Structure 1
Amino acid sequence: MTAALPGAEVTGARGLSADGDGRFDSAIASLADGRELAIRVADDDETARELAAEALALRALTDGARAMLPFRVPAYIGETRIGEGRALVTELLPGFQIEAALVPAGRGAAPSMGAAIAAVHGLPTSVVRGAGLGTRTAEESRAELERLIDTAAATGRVPARLTVRWRDAVADDDLWRFESTVVLGGVQSTSFLFDDDPERGPEVVGLVGWHGLAVGDPAVDLSWLSAAPDASDDVHAAYARAVDRAPDPGLEVRARLLAELEFARWLVHGDSMHRPDIVDDAAALLDALAEGLRTDDLSIIDARAAGVDSAMDALDRVPRDAVAEVDTSMHTDAYNPEELWIEVPEEAESSPQDTESLEPVRTIDTGRTTDRDQDDSAHRTEMLNVETEDLSEARSIFAGTRGFEPREQTRPSASDAAAEYDESDSDEAQRAARAALQRWKSSSSE
């Protein structure tokens, strides 16, 4: 720890169960100066990739970029290896979280969330491009979803009305006339940290989960609202008021499409991994979704029926990285987790960037290779060649903190979403599917 923060005096450590839902071995280190640091250790390749991407994204957010946001972002402290796993050390931000279904309508949390998302989308694309992070144009986003739909339909487990519904949406040119923006890559309700203002109610004071930072469809950061029916209208309204770009009439429809396609991603993942338990679980969710629809037209966002309610309420259990192994994306930027785990040189790590020097978002990316793209590639190569900082002393802080129980889940189980399950031995495969969902749950890129 002292290698990451010279002169730091650690006075205690305790478990951290939030911000990872049990997928990481995590701990909080308390410092003598009153600060607290979060230490998260990856146990497998997937979580290693996520922590590596998070580290790169947090370093990409310069002082100038952070000054443009009306909330705090965790400060990057350093990285190390603990045992066989990679560890990321960041600032621990204060605040409480609200589950999606519990976000209330009206003033307070919902408008604050909409404004926070708009602030992220208002960041200059140079923040992302300069770090060599992924970018997608509107057409690339559209093509990726078209491939996902085809791959899911090929399993034979997607209800026909959903396949038609999704393909009609992808074929609607009007939906795909949007300006790509900086995105978090899949916001969840638990990405927001709140403080309770006595007059205005809960307000966003921090935002976590930056591993999906990219340039892409702004709808990806609003798709979680399908699981927040009470707050959805107020979040969208606040977002529209705060965002500084041309109106996007198709935003809500694309957000709904992306939410529904999370079930398709889970299905494709199960099929690619030859996991019939996951395939059956995803198929049950898709059946519940299809049975509850009042119309096959995705552009008509109507009051939700019982089947839709139960399926959408299960949305935040579905892992957004579920199809990482399946070739349905453009793979605009692909990273090896070992290559991502890098250190910014001291002379560059703390260099401030004035907000006036940041390039504003004004035009839609054409997707063509330009001199800027070549410069970005060279910059990324330069960053990847820097050696990792040694934070070996973090091992002593982390000792004895492994194996914490994940926080109790308040979201409905998949049995609520698709069917009634008893406790007989024949349901073991279904319980395994839920365990897999819990392990895989994350916020990832679109």
Structure 2
Amino acid sequence: MARSPFTLAAAATAAFSGAEIVGARRLTAEGAGRYDAAIATLSDGRDLVVRIPTDDDALADAESELIALRALTHGVRDLLPFDAPEFLGSAPVLDSRVIVTDYLPGYQVEAAHVPRGRGIAHELGRGIARIHALPPSIVRSAGLPERSPSDARADLEKLLDVIGRSGRVPVRLMVRWREAAEDERLWSYESTVVLGGVQTTSFLFDDDDTGEPRLTGLLDWHGLAIGDPAIDMHWTASAPDAADDVFTAYAAASVRAPDGAMRVRARLHAELEFAKWLVHGVEAHRADIVDDAADLLESLSAGLADDQLLSDLPDRERADVSEVIALLDRVPRAHGSDDTPRRADTSMHTDAFSPEELRLHADEDWDAAPPRRDTAEESTQPLSPPAE
């Protein structure tokens, strides 16, 4: 049974020493069931987010996210045009942990509802470009993953071998993806700091005095790594109206040389979510998931009948292809032990962190809340699960 907001608020006092909590309410948008979550209000009016992971996979994601948040030093946060949650404390709770962060207010927009033109599309493109411009030392100092183009290519080849043995993938898709794996033009990109496949619902917006939306916060950091920047743009396959504007804003804000194959790889990442869903079904010995994934793959194949992935995509993407890829809303990004969908939910050059010291399993390192920033530096902003 899910823990009540008041139970979570009581647990928060063990994680955040000295907290005087005067109210609590459920955080309904958090984690798609992977967390028990609530918003706790302090006597001084501040809101905190209190979460307890409900399974081992959610706990592992929380551990990765806390390492990332601790790596977001004051210097790193000053490089970002929006806020990130601040880790305030953690404490053991039975076979899990209670995790406390500050609350970031704002509204969220699902990919399919991102409109074309200025506004949200441009804010998303610019915001992702700013993440990709962060110094790689932020990730390396925290001991977070780093993947080269050759690593990504090798992973794709392994994935194709697995799904090929299943016998449930249309030949057209296997040929399409094999050609992508073999095309050198796709794998000459520069690896950057990435969020590991962020969704639009991870971003928070608020409207300025003129009514224009402004990006104010980013919630999900558990996938922070060095890798293919296109992975953070794969959601554009579900936003056909806004995709051109997102990529235009991204290119204008990017500090790196243009990546002519980025949009192709973004589509490739989106299509491969179907394949990963099939692999999950095979590995979990779930015939129902395998059948569902096979149906999705057949629909994708039919929609791509006359489409060439490796052609010049910007002016050649077809509406029916976008509609088929929009089926991604049915495909969870990753899965917990109970098949609950989960989200597939940095420091400056002078900063260094020991991954061992940052692990949640070392209670003595995590039980004490870190010093808070001066409130004049803070801007509060919040949480959400992936769109599925």
Q: Give TM-score, length-normalised by structure 2.
A: 0.84
Matches of 2:208 and 2:224, distance apart in 1: 29
- For the pair 1:380 / 2:351, whether they are aligned, the reply is no
**Residue matched to 2:375:** none
Offset, 1:201: 1.8
**Residue matched to 2:333:** 320
**1:37 is matched with which residue: 24, 36, 48?**
48
**Residue matched to 2:192:** 181
**Residue matched to 1:262:** 273
**Residue matched to 2:381:** none
Offset, 1:211: 0.4
Contact 2:89 2:368 in 1 (8 A): yes
Distance 1:382 1:28, change over 3 A: closer
Offset, 1:284: 0.9
Stretches of structure 2 that go unaligned for 5 or more consecutive residues are 1-11, 338-345, 370-383
| Amino acid across the alignment from 1:220 | I
Matches of 1:317 and 1:87, distance apart in 2: 30
Larger displacement relative to structure 2 (314-323 or 144-153): 314-323
**Residue matched to 2:207:** 196
Query: SS of 1:47's equivalent?
Result: helix
Contact 1:266 1:323 in 2 (8 A): no
Contact 1:133 1:213 in 2 (8 A): yes
**Residue matched to 1:244:** 255
Residue by residue, what CA displacement relative to the aligned partner does 1:344-365 show, whole Å, maximum 9, x if unpaired?
xxxxxxxx97x6x469xxxxxx
Show the 5 A alignment for 1:151-190: 151-190=162-201
**Residue matched to 1:332:** none
Matches of 1:310 and 1:281, distance apart in 2: 18
- For the pair 1:287 / 2:306, whether they are aligned, the reply is no
**Residue matched to 2:135:** 124
Distance 1:391 1:275, change over 3 A: farther
Residue by residue, what CA displacement relative to the aligned partner does 1:309-332 show, whole Å, maximum 9, x if unpaired?
4432231442323599xxxxxxxx
Offset, 1:88: 1.8
RMSD: 2.5
Query: SS of 1:116's equivalent?
Result: helix
Show the 5 A alignment for 1:291-440: 291-300=302-311, 301=313, 302-306=316-320, 308-322=321-335, 357=349, 379-384=354-359, 386-388=362-364, 389-390=366-367
Matches of 1:264 and 1:120, distance apart in 2: 27
Matches of 1:358 and 1:141, distance apart in 2: 29
Distance 1:67 1:317, change over 3 A: farther
**Residue matched to 1:139:** 150
Distance 1:55 1:190, change over 3 A: same
Contact 1:219 1:255 in 2 (8 A): yes
Stretches of structure 1 that go unaligned for 5 or more consecutive residues are 325-351, 360-374, 393-406, 408-440
Residue by residue, what CA displacement relative to the aligned partner does 1:242-282 show, whole Å, maximum 9, x if unpaired?
01011111100001000000110000010111101111111
Matches of 1:243 and 1:267, distance apart in 2: 35
Matches of 1:224 and 1:86, distance apart in 2: 31
Residue by residue, what CA displacement relative to the aligned partner does 1:118-145 show, whole Å, maximum 9, x if unpaired?
1111111111110100000111111111
Contact 2:234 2:270 in 1 (8 A): yes
Residue by residue, what CA displacement relative to the aligned partner does 1:341-390 show, whole Å, maximum 9, x if unpaired?
xxxxxxxxxxx97x6x469xxxxxxxxxxxxxxx98xx334544843434
Offset, 1:105: 0.4
Identity, in percent, stands at 51
Offset, 1:96: 0.2
Q: Give TM-score, length-normalised by structure 1.
A: 0.73
Query: SS of 2:288's equivalent?
Result: helix
Query: SS of 2:31's equivalent?
Result: coil
Offset, 1:2: 4.1
Distance 1:133 1:391, change over 3 A: same
Larger displacement relative to structure 2 (248-257 or 191-200): 191-200
Matches of 1:161 and 1:386, distance apart in 2: 49
Matches of 1:13 and 1:262, distance apart in 2: 37
Query: SS of 2:115's equivalent?
Result: coil
Matches of 1:258 and 1:187, distance apart in 2: 12
Matches of 2:63 and 2:103, distance apart in 1: 18
Contact 2:15 2:91 in 1 (8 A): no
Contact 2:91 2:363 in 1 (8 A): no
Matches of 2:216 and 2:350, distance apart in 1: 23
Matches of 1:18 and 1:199, distance apart in 2: 28
| Amino acid across the alignment from 1:246 | A
